[in-house]
Structure 1
């Protein structure tokens, strides 16, 4: 019986599996580089030494910039925030609020690679998430969010 069930699962086509190829839009390396530079500049203008990372829609790193004097931990922080935002298709500040208010979401921070604190923002082309940016190192997640937003603002007109 178990073998029959396994065979059925293995040979049953998945919904949409007959399509063949899947096309997905992702943020380009050049836009990712511009976004991290703008985020680091925005924070530097406020006296914060940070790192910024941009990942594609799948959470794969596209660009990373660490400001002069930024702590070494800010690199991993920025990367994890971007990964979390891309994976969840949501901003990490929103995810943090969900974790705080929804008992069913309490274990989200336990997912490997996730960092559920402010500073990670999904990058959208229309309604589609094409990547995410994470900033780490400012003295508060809300400040990391502001610098990440500056990074997105720099490239917004080319995300269409």
Structure 2
């Protein structure tokens, strides 16, 4: 009887732990480095000196790279774009458009840490956001987007 009660209590704790925890899939440092380096190199091939930051699914920085000649502001811009994209699970360029056209979203840019400029794109594996990349320093959000996408494309090709 004592063994049965112990087994029952153990089962309850096991079920309870599963009910109050989650498992999150995140990009690895090696994967983050591939994406960031490819993004910086893609921009460099076009003559742009940028910074690229890759964050995990929670928005915590995994890797930041800054090209020679990239302005100091590009570090913070790339990090905030990556954080914004990971947090909202969507590209920052789409969030910018929404904030400009939807009155209920006009204050999105006021969220602490957010930056609503193009250049932040979520990284999805099997339709699950495992992180995001942010690029800052190209002359315009659409160009930052292109470099960020190049980083993701290189990562997914591995």
Same fold (TM over 0.5): yes
Q: SS at 1:144's partner residue?
A: helix
Q: Which residue of 1 aligns with 2:145?
A: 145
Q: Which residue of 2 aligns with 1:124?
A: 124
Q: Which residue of 1 aligns with 2:36?
A: 36
Q: Which residue of 2 aligns with 1:93?
A: 93
TM superposition shift of 1:125: 0.7
Q: Which moved more, 1:69-78 or 1:148-157?
A: 148-157
Matches of 2:120 and 2:18 in 1, distance apart? Answer: 35
Q: SS at 2:113's partner residue?
A: coil
Give RMSD over aligned pairs: 1.3
Q: Which moved more, 1:83-92 or 1:19-28?
A: 19-28
Q: Which residue of 1 aligns with 2:55?
A: 55
- 2:25 is aligned with 1:25: yes
Matches of 2:69 and 2:157 in 1, distance apart? Answer: 31
Matches of 1:24 and 1:125 in 2, distance apart? Answer: 12
Q: Which residue of 2 aligns with 1:65?
A: 65
Q: Which residue of 1 aligns with 2:136?
A: 136
TM superposition shift of 1:20: 3.9
User: 1:39-76 CA distances to partner (integer Å, 9 max, x unpaired)?
Assistant: 00000000000000000000000000000010000000
TM superposition shift of 1:127: 1.4
Matches of 2:18 and 2:68 in 1, distance apart? Answer: 50
Aligned length, in residue pairs: 143
TM superposition shift of 1:22: 1.4
TM superposition shift of 1:111: 0.4
TM superposition shift of 1:21: 3.0
TM superposition shift of 1:89: 0.2
Q: Which residue of 1 aligns with 2:104?
A: 104
Matches of 2:21 and 2:58 in 1, distance apart? Answer: 17
TM-score (ref. length: structure 1): 0.86
Q: SS at 1:26's partner residue?
A: coil
Residue ranges of structure 2 left out of the alignment (5+ in a row):
1-15
